[in-house]
């Protein structure tokens, strides 16, 4: 992969930061004041005027700064330009919409840049706690402009992990329930935050030691992958093989625990789903 120059990455990192802060201002404005909450076809997959407004704000900023040959994939408005472009932006204006609608303060704007399919830049902004995470290949990773690194935890028994449950969890046995229970017994705890961008950002800054999840979209993870890697962590497929960012599942850790978590994931059998008709 041919990386963009350091000067280009710095310029685009600044543009993405401006876009994330603009989107975050929209989310702050609508916090606790929503008038419309709609489902996008799957139970629990919500969208609000805050999502749409935040995306419009981010896109307006990026539209002023980005070269026209860049492609954009945004959660609410879809593809803008060439999705096969060498440089592709993945934008989630509000990761954690369900949390946001309930005023549960775990949500974020996520803006990532992929170069030839590999995440090389990420900005994640938590507008409720005003935490700004930034990273670009070779430029380091920061939280509120201060350098961050992944944790040094090297024993599962001393670790704190996080995961999530996809919208199709009611229909498939491949749903993380068994994994959640299993790792709960092996670690100091497993959290379920409800926003993949925050989960990845917290691994990057050492608040969490590892994260795995399935059912993820590119806009959920592109920025966070760049953050974790630039903070010294490791991101792969569950089995430790190179990550396919379109596969919908990943394992992100501080590196020290990667082998142990990957091995354990390969040993866990799924739980049988209860019949919804009997509930």
pLDDT tens column, 29-61: 999 999 988 887 666 678 899 999 999 999 999
Where is the domain boundary, 147, 169, 200?
147
Taking residues 200-211, report their average pLDDT.
98
Asked if the structure places residue 270 within a domain, the reply is no
Q: Are 94 and 50 in contact (CB under 8 A)?
A: yes
Instruction: For residues 245 and 219, give the distance between their C-alpha atoms in angstroms, rounded to a whole number.
Output: 10
- pLDDT at residue 278 is higher than 50: no
Taking residues 144-158, report their average pLDDT.
98
E-strand stretches of the chain: 37-39, 46-48, 71-74, 78-80, 87-95, 108-115, 118-126, 131-136, 140-143, 146-147, 160-163, 189-191, 210-213, 234-236, 250-253
pLDDT at 276: 47
CATH of the domain at 121: 3.30.540.10
Annotated binding-site residue numbers: 75, 92, 94-95, 220
Asked if the structure places residue 273 within a domain, the reply is no
Q: Based on the domain organization, do 103 and 224 belong to the same domain?
A: no
pLDDT at 257: 98
Asked if the structure places residue 260 within a domain, the reply is yes
- Between 96 and 77, where is the model more confident? 96
Where is the domain boundary, 125, 147, 169?
147
Taking residues 9-24, report their average pLDDT.
98
Q: Based on the domain organization, do 88 and 192 belong to the same domain?
A: no
Annotated binding-site residue numbers for Mg(2+): 75, 92, 94-95, 220
pLDDT at 169: 67
Q: Which of 28, 103, 81, 91 is nearest to 56 (CA)?
A: 91
Range of the domain at 20: 6-147
Asked if the structure places residue 272 within a domain, the reply is no
Asked if the structure places residue 178 within a domain, the reply is yes
Confidence of residue 273 (pLDDT cuts 50, 70, 90): low
In three-state secondary structure terms, 110 is strand
Asked if the structure places residue 276 within a domain, the reply is no
The residue behind tokens 């592109």 is 222
Q: Based on the domain organization, do 164 and 143 belong to the same domain?
A: no
Where is the domain boundary, 147, 167, 189?
147
Taking residues 186-201, report their average pLDDT.
98
pLDDT at 1: 57
């Amino acid at each position: 992969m041919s990386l963009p120059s350091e000067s280009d990455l710095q310029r685009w990192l600044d543009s993405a930061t401006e876009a994330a802060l603009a989107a975050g201002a929209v989310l702050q404005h609508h916090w606790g004041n929503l008038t419309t909450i709609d489902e996008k076809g799957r139970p629990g997959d919500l969208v609000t005027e805050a999502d749409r407004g935040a995306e419009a704000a981010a896109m307006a900023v990026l539209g002023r700064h980005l070269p026209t040959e860049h492609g954009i994939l945004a959660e609410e408005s879809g593809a803008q330009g060439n999705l096969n472009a060498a440089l592709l932006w993945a934008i989630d204006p509000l990761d954690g919409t369900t949390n946001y609608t309930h005023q549960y303060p775990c949500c974020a704007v996520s803006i990532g840049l992929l170069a030839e399919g590999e995440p090389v830049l990420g900005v994640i902004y938590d507008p409720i706690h005003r935490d700004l995470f930034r990273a670009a290949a070779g430029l380091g990773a920061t939280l509120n402009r201060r350098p961050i690194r992944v944790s040094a935890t090297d024993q599962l028994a001393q670790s704190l992990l996080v995961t999530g449950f996809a919208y199709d969890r009611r229909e498939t046995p491949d749903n993380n329930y068994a994994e959640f229970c299993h790792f709960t017994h092996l670690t100091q705890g497993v959290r379920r935050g409800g926003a993949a961008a925050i989960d990845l950002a917290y691994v990057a800054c050492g608040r969490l030691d590892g994260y795995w999840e399935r059912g993820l979209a590119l806009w959920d993870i592109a920025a966070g992958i760049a953050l974790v890697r630039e903070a010294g962590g490791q991101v792969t497929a569950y089995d430790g093989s190179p990550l396919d960012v379109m596969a919908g599942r990943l394992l992100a850790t501080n590196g020290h625990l990667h082998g142990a978590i990957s091995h354990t994931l390969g040993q866990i059998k799924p739980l049988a789903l209860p019949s919804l008709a009997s509930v």
